[in-house]
Structure 1
Amino acid sequence: MKKTHLSALFGVLALLFLLAGCAQKETAAPTQEKTALFSCGLLSAKQDDLWGYIDESGAFVIQPQFDYAFPFSSGGVARVLFGDQFGYIDTAGHYVIPAQYQEAYDFADNGLALIKTEDLYGYIDASGAYVINPQFDAAVDFGHGTYAAVSSGGKWGFVDREGHYFVNPQFEAAGAFAANGLAPVQTNGVWGYIGLDGKLAINPRFAYAFAFDGSGLARVLVDDEFGYIDKTGSYVVAPQFTTATEFTADGYATVSVNDRFGVIDTKGSYVINPQFDMLGTMENDRAYYANKGKIGYINLKGQRVIVEQFDSLVPPLYVGGSFGSDGYAAVRFGDKYGVIGSDGKYSINPQFEGLLGCAG
């Protein structure tokens, strides 16, 4: 696979993951946690070119005033864009950290958030105080891990919460540590994994390697095909797929072969045979599918429980919204966005210019 084609593939995959669920950096460690569409009871919605937040009735609780608004985290804080700067607000719409950053990301389990200012990355606490001063050319958030991957001078290493190097910059690229204590790294053009001792735990041999997800498996790319490995580096599911997602909290991944999409379990067995032109991740017994330019939903048995009738969230790609643990999904009908329940009926009629929830 040519480098340009590989980059395009990752770009499309990243876009699909973003639209199906929470916005996050591609290298952040997957959490595999079930999330509701209405995070903290609120959903970001766009009206008259500005973003605010609505409740489950569709009424604005925080009036449209932002240039972009991300879903609320479990801590009750959301990232917003005002002009060309990011800040953080609470569920009342008040700034807890004023808009002042070029980039900003969700707070990690250790209480730190990755930000960018004056073209450098650093980490702040919930008060907005710098814990690790901006100094890195690129960086990944801490996520659920103890260490964060950072880049300086063209090489990647790992720092702890105080900003001290745990692993000195030496890799060509790096991702986040997962719960099993492994993080993907690239060296000499190929990917492997290091452990919490800073040493290689899985020797580099993959064209690309993702962070381990909550199932204990990680996606890897070999000879243009995706497969899944365990923490020893052994294949649990041999490389055979053109595209593949991480496993959801329910233990299912969406894969494609010969331009047809299906669903597998953590053993690699097909739960739904490849048959769809496009298929989203199976979340809460629902996954969107595309047919003749329209979006519908199937259940885990492969049955079409909500017939295709919705438009793609982001044309010309065929993309639908994932169902959250609260039983809601964002959909688009014509040029307006609304919310449906698991029965396909509207809980909020299409009326908004955009919706961005945290389902999946």
Structure 2
Amino acid sequence: MYCSKCGEKLQDEAKFCNKCGNAVSENNTDKKNQNNNNNINNSNNNYDCATDNDISNTQTKKQKSKKTPFVVLAVIVALIIVAVPIYINYNSLEQKIARAEKNIVWHDKDFDSSYPFFEGMARVYKVGVGGDDKYWFIDKEGKKLTGVKYHIYENFFFDSLKYEASMRKYGLAPVAKEDKNGVLKYGYVDKSGKEVVKRKYDIAKPFSEGLAVVAKEDEDGHYKWGYIDNSGKEVVECKYYHAEPFSEGLATVVKEDEDGYYEWGCVDESGKEVIECKYDYVDAFREGLAPIEDGDNKWGYIDKSGKEVIECKYDEAKIFVEGLAAVAKEDEDGHYKWGFVDKSGKEVVECKYYEATPFIEGLAVVAKKDENGDNKWGYIDKSGKEIVECKYDEAEPCREGLVPFEDGDNKWGFVDKSGKEVVECKYDAVGLFREGIAAVAKKDEDGNYKCGYIDKSGKEIVECKYDAAEPFSRGIAAVAKEDEDGDNKWGCVDKSGKEVIECKYDYVEAFGDFVEIQRLFEISYDGSCYYRNNIYDIIYYDSFKNFEDSFSNHDLISVAKKDEDGDNKWGCVDKSGKEVIECKYDYQVRFREGLAVVVKKDENGNEKYGILNIN
């Protein structure tokens, strides 16, 4: 222990310092030691305090640092919550339509009608005198793409699809314009309307398998036919008397021999004559074989090498479909009797029917004559078994595994491919199945047909209460009810039977283009095309297998109401039945690719057209 005053070391239990006499108490401590201790303690305290503060500050900073991302995230989430409804509303169909209608640029209407848009442009046409119709193109703003009016090589709806198929798949389509001598000359335009192949041909067909048929008139007034590619290069010289589109890599061509007789053969895509022009007729290749007619008017089949794989012994022959082809032999009364052969030439179905269409889904429609000489229709399978007896006045092709049949008492039902009755014969009329549903009809007490729908089990999913019913397409079907004035008012039902669009419109087109394409496919493949010798129509339709993809996903349905003058005013509803475009336009509003041509009269009664763009 030390004196707190002088620092002298004190004896234990001393009361006073021996050096300075300072009284010693319990609170006295060694000054130096105390100071040192105090210094140490103060230093430690200061260190501790500093460290605690530093740690505290550091932790606070870390806590703040950890909180910062959460705060930012919360702000972002809040902004999203606020922005998304605004964005959704801004991009809702109603808002898009409102903006589109506000932004329509109106032009003087100088055409009679228009086709729906494809690849960003629409084809319009004006009916001329004596069939001198004119066609041209307009873009998304309604402007003419070419500035000139063209003729299209053919002008009815069936062939306009070929035109569109050519443009969609190959980017080119044929058009024509009169030259300085008033003669139509054909060339090709691309999707922008630019003339890619100059107008120098007298005939030009749409592209098929990368090549297009063209023809020039020679000095004797005869057409000479050849082929061009999409650059306009004449890959097969215009020297043939006739030429057909390519099918499975080969095309049928015709030469005239020294005696003036036509001889048929085939060329490949290089122009090489791989099948000699020596036949009286060569049809298109399908499934690797083509029907041929020899010089004795007998028919058989060749393969792509030109080898005659089925002897020419029939009086007529059609193309192969599903592995079988219809062939005919003339009987002693001069009637053609039809049967079927396979690719080996085996006659798998005897030639005994008066009519026979190609197989579809494993069944073919065939006909026998009754005692009155009238055709009675039924169905056979590929073994020749008569699944449905030939006793009906009419028959439709198999669709979705079921075929309609009548029980002899004018009541209709359906059988499956084995001939088993799966839908009872209790209806007065039936349609084909599409999307798993078929339209059916029963007569009411007044003899009027009332229409509804059944599924494949025969369940009546839509009661037979409508006065008209269309096939289903993309989940809905157009139906009609007769009003008090006897006029049909149209709406739509869904597959549950719910009337999603009220029957109050004078016209409803539920995805009409798509339905029309489906119908054309049915026409093509039910045999009528084959028996019109129009197999080539089918070739072009290959481009339409994904036709539905070209529709916008807005699912807008064209509808019309009559105004006080009895004129149709057009608008659109969505699949819920909401009228999203008021019925106010003078021309049908048909959307494709989010675009539609609309027509409206101005205050002076002049027709104007514009483009609704809801993309």
Tell me the TM-score range normalised by the shorter chain: 0.5 to 0.7
218-227 or 75-84, which deviates more: 218-227
- Do residues 93 (structure 1) and 232 (structure 2) align? yes
SS at match of 1:265: coil
For structure 1, the 5+ residue unaligned runs are 1-14, 24-33, 254-260, 276-280, 287-297, 309-321, 329-338, 348-360
**Aligned letter for 2:382?**
K
SS at 2:174 equivalent: strand
Match status 1:45 vs 2:175? yes
Question: 1:231 and 2:371 equivalent?
Answer: no
Match for 2:299 among 156, 172, 182? 156
Contact in 1 for aligned 2:338/2:351 (Cα 8 Å):
yes
* Secondary structure, aligned partner of 2:277: strand
Q: Displacement of 1:70 after TM fit? A: 1.7
> Over residues 242-295 of structure 1, what are the superposed CA-to-partner deviations in whole Å (9 max), with x where a residue is unaligned?
696897xx9999xxxxxxx996238997358899xxxxx999999xxxxxxxxx
Question: Which residue of 229, 242, 246 maps to 1:103?
Answer: 242
- Point out the structure with the larger helix share: 2
Of 159, 164, 177, the residue aligned with 1:19 is 159
Q: 2:353 aligns with which of 206, 212, 218?
A: 206
Q: Percent identity?
A: 27
CA 208–127 in structure 1, closer or farther in 2 if over 3 Å, else same: same
Per-residue deviation, 1:90: 0.5
In structure 2, runs of 5+ residues without a counterpart are: 1-154, 179-183, 218-222, 257-261, 331-335, 369-373, 404-428, 442-448, 452-470, 477-491, 496-506, 514-540, 552-589, 599-615
The structure 2 residue matched to 1:129, chosen from 265, 272, 278, is: 272
Distance 1:86 1:166, change over 3 A: same
> What CA distance in whole angstroms lies between the structure 2 residues aligned with 1:82 and 1:191?
40
User: Is 1:186 matched up with 2:337?
Assistant: no
In 2, the alpha carbon distance for the partners of 1:43 and 1:146 equals 28
- 2:253 corresponding residue in structure 1: 115
Cα distance, 1:62–1:266 mapped onto 2, change above 3 Å: same
1:80 and 2:196 equivalent?
no
Give, in angstroms, the shift of residue 198 of structure 1.
Answer: 0.9
Deviation at 1:168, TM superposition (A): 1.5
Q: Deviations over 1:15-55 (max 9, x none)?
A: 999637559xxxxxxxxxx9676231222233332332233
Give the Cα–Cα distance (whole angstroms) in 1 for the partners of residues 379 and 594 of structure 2: 33
Partner of residue 327 from structure 1, selected from 539, 550, 558: 550
Is the CA contact (8 Å cut-off) linking 2:379 and 2:388 kept in structure 1? yes
C-alpha change, 1:229 and 1:38, in structure 2 (3 Å) is farther
- Map Cα deviations across residues 160-210 of structure 1 (whole Å, 9 max, x no partner): 2222221211101001122x3211100131111001221111122332323
Answer yes or no: is 1:345 the counterpart of 2:596.
Answer: yes
Report which of the two has the higher share of strand. Answer: 1
Give the partner amino acid of 1:98. Answer: E
Cα distance, 1:307–1:104 mapped onto 2, change above 3 Å:
closer
Deviates more, 1:52-61 or 1:96-105: 52-61
| Post-superposition offset of 1:224 | 4.2
- Does the aligned pair in 2 maintain the 1:101–1:115 contact within 8 Å? yes
Alpha-carbon displacement from aligned partner over 1:305-347 (angstroms, at most 9, x marks no partner):
4799xxxxxxxxxxxxx9942638xxxxxxxxxx983778249
Counterpart-to-counterpart distance in 1, 2:278 and 2:354: 29
Residue 141 of structure 1 aligns to a residue in which SS? coil
**Within-5 A mapping of 1:195-344:** 195-212=342-359, 215-222=361-368, 223-224=374-375, 229-234=380-385, 264-265=432-433, 270-271=438-439, 303-305=508-510, 324=544, 325=547, 327=550, 341=592
Q: Rate the CA distance shift 1:191–1:122 in 2: closer, same or farther, 3 A.
A: same
The structure with the larger Rg is: 2
Q: CA deviation at 1:300?
A: 11
Q: In the alignment, what sits opposite 2:59?
A: none
* Cα distance, 1:228–1:245 mapped onto 2, change above 3 Å: same
SS of the aligned residue for 2:206 comes to: coil
CA drift of 1:131 comes to 1.4
Which secondary structure state, in structure 1, belongs to the residue aligned with residue 252 of structure 2?
strand
Question: Residue type matched to 1:19 in 2?
Answer: D
Q: For 2:192 and 2:199, how far apart are their aligned partners in 1? A: 16
Tell me: CA distance 1:252–1:341, structure 2 relative to 1, closer, same or farther (3 Å): farther
Please say if residues 114 and 124 of structure 1, whose CA atoms lie closer than 8 Å, have aligned partners that are also in contact: yes
Q: Aligned partners of 1:267 and 1:285: how far apart in 2?
A: 8
| Aligned equivalent of 2:143 | none
**Would you say the 8 A contact 1:236–1:267 is kept in 2?**
no
| SS in structure 2 at match of 1:71 | strand
Cα RMSD for the two superposed structures = 4.7
TM-score between the two structures when normalised by the length of structure 1: 0.59
Instruction: Report the CA distance shift for 1:130/1:231 in structure 2 as closer, same or farther (over 3 A).
Output: same
Which whole-Å CA distance do the structure 2 matches of 1:71 and 1:270 have between them?
35
Distance 1:160 1:224, change over 3 A: same
> Is the CA contact (8 Å cut-off) linking 1:90 and 1:96 kept in structure 2?
yes
What SS does the corresponding residue of 2:169 show, helix, strand or coil?
coil
Q: SS at the partner of 2:239?
A: strand
Higher RCO (CA-CA < 8 Å; seq separation 6+): 1
Alpha-carbon distance in 1 for matches of 2:188, 2:474 = 24
Alignment CA distance shift 1:342-1:225 (3 Å): farther
56, 59, 69: which one aligns with 2:191: 56
Is contact 1:237–1:267 with CA below 8 Å preserved after alignment? no
Once residues 97 and 112 of structure 1 are traced to their aligned partners in structure 2, the CA distance between those partners, rounded to angstroms, is 12
Tell me if structure 1 keeps the 8 A contact 2:167–2:191: no
Question: Cα gap change, 1:342/1:124 in structure 2, threshold over 3 Å: closer, same or farther?
Answer: same
Distance 1:158 1:267 in 2: 37
- TM-score norm. by structure 2 comes to 0.37
